[in-house]
Structure 1
């Protein structure tokens, strides 16, 4: 049977989720300090499903270093992966030639394998790690939200995106036990906001049918985590997180590509709005 990269990544994430059903568990996307995993050779952050796959690998093995690279890339950095170390799966998408007359760009997922800096002898010195944020300057996040252009109102006890009014409703900041909890919830609702018509138009009903609601909540959880990591801030679970675990497991088991859909594009879209707003200003 041919190797299925979508199934392999999904199986790893399912195993992580199922390990938590018995008791103590922390989602790999709820992390204290640090940022996005980065390629040690290029310095570029990994995106989408690779962010999630590497977070899962780091949590499973207890890696604190955010740097990853392939065996060949570590060798090019004059570092040596230690004998017996196990790699973590990452995915790249290779464009292939479509049928004659088909102008659409088509890509196929291919597997690659990365090793963490902790698995390597002679890795270059790392820069100072991002500290756990204490939210002494919350205006960093507030400015990010403002630059998206989203309409946000504060009041009441519930956080939600209201499609009919195209607005995000948030409880007052002081109602949250921590500033990180407030920011993670805001990023969660911003992700819902990003899917509206006129923006990403993320209609998931056609793809996931009865599981569309659970899929959208998984999109929002991952979008929130990716945004927080980009800013070097730790993500906290959304209040409804635990109630969705069973439905997320069901979704992933029924569709090995679902997590790829959930992890793609959202944080990048919201980040891209920052440049546009800055230019407009």
Structure 2
């Protein structure tokens, strides 16, 4: 039996197919952020993981570390967590807060189970949609207050690396001010940012299959694509769908496929 970190459940596995993990230590280089911010993330998390390892030998005195990433969808928050986990060769346990339950009891139990497994296996935990638990409590919403309190109790007991991700967070509950050691804000992508992302996405395709696209034509169209105000998730979907479309037509992916799919995202 093996634990599927994506599905969050135990599965039967074919031991003949077990392989060493091929970590992508260069993924973090593709992250769009100021050099100072990237250095801050790497240095802080690197030191925290080192402390975690040392305290594992010294009576488990490590108190844990929590980072908050907030900003619009498709600005690099999830990729930050994924690339950091790859660089430090740590499994990433991604949990959507909408899946942990609605009652305080379910929330606390679900999170405690996840945190227990993460501590046992040395995972970095990523909570997506964390605004559900981080919003400031108020006297008119008893249910929300109870969920926030349950989350705080589970968080207080967790002694690992936790990354919180929020697309929208207007009012952070004051109780979290002392819990979050590294808050980061992600700005919407600029046109040069989008050009960089398009190049990275095409680089990934080229590394997998050089025959899958017309390289010169596709790369030559990235400046035009970058003018479209798409976020990172949308750009990834454009490339994926364009590649599938070209494959169905038994063609190499070209600017024509990319343009056709990209423009369909514009009304959104």
Is TM (by shorter chain) over 0.5?
no
TM-score of the aligned structures, taking structure 1 as reference length = 0.27
Considering only CA atoms, is the larger Rg found in Structure 1 or Structure 2? 2
Please give the TM-score of this superposition, normalised by the length of structure 2.
0.28
